[in-house]
Amino acid sequence: MLLITCPFCGQRPEIEFAYGGEAHIARAADPRATSDEAWTEYLYVRGNARGLHAERWRHIRGCGRFFNALRDTVTDHFVATYKMGEARPDRTEGKQP
């Protein structure tokens, strides 16, 4: 069973969580001044990394809070989890604490 560490609740089974898409996607400060191409990229274009990927997750069957995670898409291994608003950990490999 895959275990994911919620930054608020601790380690829980993966069935308690829901994937929320790529992390750190910033909305334009003034969407009216944004070009159609930039707006389209914001809405639809996402990375498809092989290896470490920053993702949003929600502990939907626990505290209900969103958090970010670094997950290796090759091994499905969670390298780190961190609260929303915190900087992405500077990790390239390793196990989740």
Q: Please report, as ranges, the residues that interact with Zn ion according to CB under 5 A.
A: 6, 8-9, 59, 62-63
Q: Kindly tell me which of 19 and 46 has the beta carbon lying closer to Zn ion.
A: 19
**What's the closest the beta carbon of residue 86 comes to Zn ion, in angstroms?**
15
Burial classification of residue 78, based on how many CB atoms lie within 10 Å of its CB (0-12 exposed, 13-18 middle, 19 or more buried): buried
Would the CA dihedral through 96, 20, 28, 47 be positive or negative?
positive
Identify which of residues 8 and 19 has a Cβ nearer to Zn ion in the complex: 8
User: And the tokens for 35?
Assistant: 């070009």
Query: Smallest distance, Å, CB 64 to Zn ion?
Result: 7
